[in-house]
Structure 1
């Protein structure tokens, strides 16, 4: 299969974060284009972020590269260095293992749309510097920084 039918691509709303960390990304919609195309080495998502929406909690990955390309709208990229405006045609890259927490916020009055591309790693350890959250598949997923697991969120 070469052409992906966006209407049939798996779509995910919100995030898988435990409460209360899921709330700021609640309006995010992701069409999982890489999954729809059968890709296994890297993921590709088409993301729509509503006004006031967050892409994620600020984070960085130990073993996964990430890349974003803004297709429409305006986003504010927040990193350790501060804030940078991204507009249609702008892109950003986040190499694996670099402890530079990042995320994007839509502070505009219109939805923003971007592509995100990332490595798929079995060792998906992810750090969240601003909140008491850590992702470690060996510990069952999301946990506190001390290793205590969060309860699964219903709904």
Structure 2
């Protein structure tokens, strides 16, 4: 594969979380770079967070590895152990199976760009959201009692 045309990469905008959990995650977009390159086991996204936007709800994965690298701007990493500011050049990693819940919040007045890298298409991965009544598997979103949204 030759050089990717980032502008031509598939884009996902907003959030697919069920309401009302989608609200803080709406004002963002992800350029699906790995998908544009034809990769299926690795996820690489260029995440753009507008001021006030969250990357996701605070979560952790049972199987997926996650790594983020801040390219531009300043973002707050909200994790189980508290909050940290990440600036351009900073990175963070989240091994699977560790209940270290995390997400990014853009509390600045400018655009933030983050490179997200992680495992992709893991059938047995589950995603846990400790702050809200949400649980995710490969087949969809569920309440913590197991009923689907």
Is the pair's TM-score, using the shorter chain for normalization, greater than 0.5?
yes
What does 1:106-121 align with in structure 2 at a 5 Å threshold?
106-120=106-120, 121=122
What is the CA-CA distance between 1:117 and the residue it aligns to? 0.3
Report the equivalent of 1:148. 147
Report the equivalent of 1:153. none
TM-score by length of 2: 0.97
List alignment gaps of at least 5 residues for structure 1.
Answer: 151-155
TM-score by length of 1: 0.93
Report the equivalent of 1:62. 62
CA distance in 1, matches of 2:13, 2:74: 20
CA distance in 2, matches of 1:86, 1:4: 27
What is the CA-CA distance between 1:148 and the residue it aligns to? 0.5
Do structure 1's residue 41 and structure 2's residue 41 form an aligned pair?
yes
Do structure 1's residue 129 and structure 2's residue 135 form an aligned pair?
no
CA distance in 2, matches of 1:2, 1:38: 12
List alignment gaps of at least 5 residues for structure 2.
Answer: none
What is the CA-CA distance between 1:2 and the residue it aligns to? 2.2
What is the CA-CA distance between 1:123 and the residue it aligns to? 1.6
- Partner of 1:103: helix, strand, or coil? strand
- Partner of 1:76: helix, strand, or coil? strand
RMSD of the TM alignment (CA)?
Answer: 0.7
The one-character-per-residue Cα deviations of 1:20-63 (angstroms, maximum 9, x if unpaired) are 11111101110000000011111000000011110000000000
Task: Point out 4+ residue stretches in structure 1 off by more than 3 angstroms.
Answer: none
- Partner of 1:24: helix, strand, or coil? helix
User: Larger deviation: 117-126 or 73-82?
Assistant: 117-126
What is the CA-CA distance between 1:115 and the residue it aligns to? 0.2
Report the equivalent of 2:83. 83
The one-character-per-residue Cα deviations of 1:65-95 (angstroms, maximum 9, x if unpaired) are 0000000000000111000000000000000
